[in-house]
Amino acid sequence: MSNKYHFGSPIISEGAFLASSKEEKIDSSGISDARSLLTIREVVPAAQFIIRGDRGDESFGLSLDQNVKMAFPLEPCTYRYNSKSQLYWLGPDEWLLVSVSESILERTLRDRLKAPAVITDVSGGQTVLNLSGALSSIEAVLKKSSVYDFGAWVDADRGAGRCVRTTFAKASALIANRSDQSYDVIIRRSFADYVVRWLMDAGREFGSTFERYSQS
């Protein structure tokens, strides 16, 4: 992925706060690090674009389908994915594209779209966290963080999944399920450190760990 999209981590409290939360967990319940049931992982930065256009315009839909190389999500609160990209439905004329593909860049999209469209690069304003581990622990933390009923979702599979923009940990986030039963949390970078703290505290009873992405 282009260095243009390799931003520094917005999570600044890994050392003191995250280490102490694990120590407190061990002291209070005796659960060791090896048995932590919730992992909060910072996902490697990727290009993120808000795309707005008329999906009813055949030239717009066709050109976007060809460039992203996946089926366009039309059903509310769904997304499509392949090995390098995810395309999230945000509204009737609005989608979020997240991609690590070298060929999907803002200028490329603007040049190739054959119909009126608005493309906004939000790569520097958003980041992605992934929640994985025991499904019961993930579901409990999701319930603590949002009133939305994530348990009603069908599992992600065959290039498609569910997503929703909602209030999460008293912040705004886009939540999506993954085919490996983990969940992605897409948030503004300015809220990232706070949300990690929230999730670590919410998962304390299960044993929670945080993994920062490697910048090497």
CATH number for 170: 3.30.1360.120
Looking at the DSSP bridge assignments, the partners of residue 209 are 39
Mean predicted confidence (pLDDT) in 54-75: 76
Looking at the DSSP bridge assignments, the partners of residue 161 are 79
Lowest-pLDDT range, 17-26, 96-105, 170-179?
17-26
Give the domain extent around 70: 47-121
Q: What is the pLDDT of residues 97-110, one digit of tens each?
A: 999 886 667 777 77
pTM: 0.84
E strand or H helix that includes residue 127: strand 126-133
As a whole number, the mean pLDDT across the chain is 83
CATH number for 67: 3.30.70.1520
Burial of 147 (C-beta count, 10 Å sphere; 0-12/13-18/19+): exposed
Written as six digits, the tokens of 140 are 């409990």
Residues 93 and 166: their CA atoms lie apart, in Å, by: 18
pLDDT at 145: 97
- Do 19 and 67 belong together in one domain? no
Does position 20 have pLDDT exceeding 70, yes or no? no
- Do 129 and 38 belong together in one domain? yes
Q: How far is CA 17 from CA 20, 24, 133, 194, 196, in A?
A: 5, 10, 21, 11, 10
- Do 131 and 205 belong together in one domain? yes
Choose between 166 and 11: higher pLDDT: 166
Domain tally for the chain?
A: 2
- Do 110 and 96 belong together in one domain? yes
Mean predicted confidence (pLDDT) in 139-158: 94
pLDDT-derived band at 5, boundaries 50, 70, 90: low
**Position 147 in a domain:** yes
**Position 33 in a domain:** yes
Written as six digits, the tokens of 200 are 């670590």
